[in-house]
Homo-oligomer: A and B are copies of this chain.
Amino acid sequence: MNRLYHFPLSPFCRKVRLSLAEKKIEVELVEERYWEPDADFLRRNPAGKVPILKLNGHTYSDSTAICEMLEELHPTPALLPRDANDRYEVRRLVAWFDGKFHDEVTSKLLMERVYRKVMGLGYPDSKNVKQGLKAIKYHLDYMAWLLDQRRWLAGDSMSLADFTAAAHLSSLDYVSDVDWNRSEAVKDWYAKIKSRPAFRSILADQIPGNLPSRQYADLDF
C-alpha cells in the first residue's frame, strides 16, 4: 500500500502531494501529528518530520529528495526542465521558498495562527505575525518581478518551483494571509495553479477548529 504520512497545512507535504498528483501516482494520505511522535513514526523517519512517503516498498523522507526521486522514477509529466541551467533555476527557487520564504513568512504566520493552537502551545505571538505580514509583501513583489519576465516562476514551463511556491501560499491563504490584490501577475499565476486537478485534494483540506478563509477553495477568488 502506497502511503503519504502528512499534515494537511504543511507546505513541504503539499509540495509532495502536488508532485504525486500531477504525475498521477496514487497514495493513501495518512494524517500524522508529527509533533507528538510515537515510536512507529520515529522508526519510519528518524528526523521526526513529515512528509514520509511509502512507495513500492521503499520509505522516503525529506520533501525535496522525494520530489527529485519522483522526477527520476516518474519523469512524465516533467516538473524539472531539461537544460542544466534551467534546472538550476528551479532548484534555486525551491530552496528559496522552502528556506527563506518559510523562515521569514510561513513559519511566522502559520506557526502562530494554526500550529500553536493545534499543538496546544497557546496564543499567537503578535511580533512574529507582524514580521511575517511585512515579509510576505517583499516576497510577493519578488514573485511579481519574476512573473513579469517569465510565464512561470522559473521559466516558460510549469515546474517544481511553482508547486513549492503554491504549497506555501495555499497554506497561508487558508488563514487569509495572502493579499491577492498586491499583484495581478501573482494572482493570475495562482489561479492557473489552483485550477489544476492536482490541486483539488489541497483545496479540500480542513483543520478542525480552524475553518479555511472564504476564498480558500474558490477558483474565482
- Partner-B contacts on A (CB < 8 A): 46-47, 58, 60-62, 64-66, 68-69, 72-73, 84-85, 87-88, 91-92, 94-96, 99-100, 142
Contacts and interface: CB of A to CB of B under 8 A. Distances in A.
Given A60-B92, A62-B99, A64-B64, 15 more contacts: A47-B96, A47-B99, A58-B85, A61-B92, A62-B91, A62-B92, A62-B95, A64-B91, A64-B95, A65-B88, A65-B92, A68-B87, A68-B88, A69-B85, A72-B84
B65 A91 contact: yes
Given A60-B92, A61-B92, A92-B60, A84 B69 contact: yes
A46 B95 CA distance: 13
A87 B100 contact: no
23 contacts: A47-B96, A47-B99, A60-B88, A60-B92, A61-B92, A62-B91, A62-B92, A62-B95, A62-B96, A64-B91, A64-B95, A65-B88, A65-B91, A65-B92, A65-B94, A65-B95, A66-B88, A68-B87, A68-B88, A68-B91, A69-B91, A72-B87, A73-B84
A216 B72 CA distance: 39
- Copies per complex? 2
A90 to B, nearest CB: 8
Tell me the interface secondary structure of chain A in the complex.
helix
A188 to B, nearest CB: 23
Contacts of A64: 64, 91, 95
Contacts of A68: 87-88, 91
Task: Report, nearest first, the 4 A-B pairs whose CB atoms are least far apart.
Answer: A65-B91, A72-B84, A69-B88, A62-B95
Contacts of A61: 92
Nearest to A64: B95
A101 to B, nearest CB: 10
Nearest to A71: B84
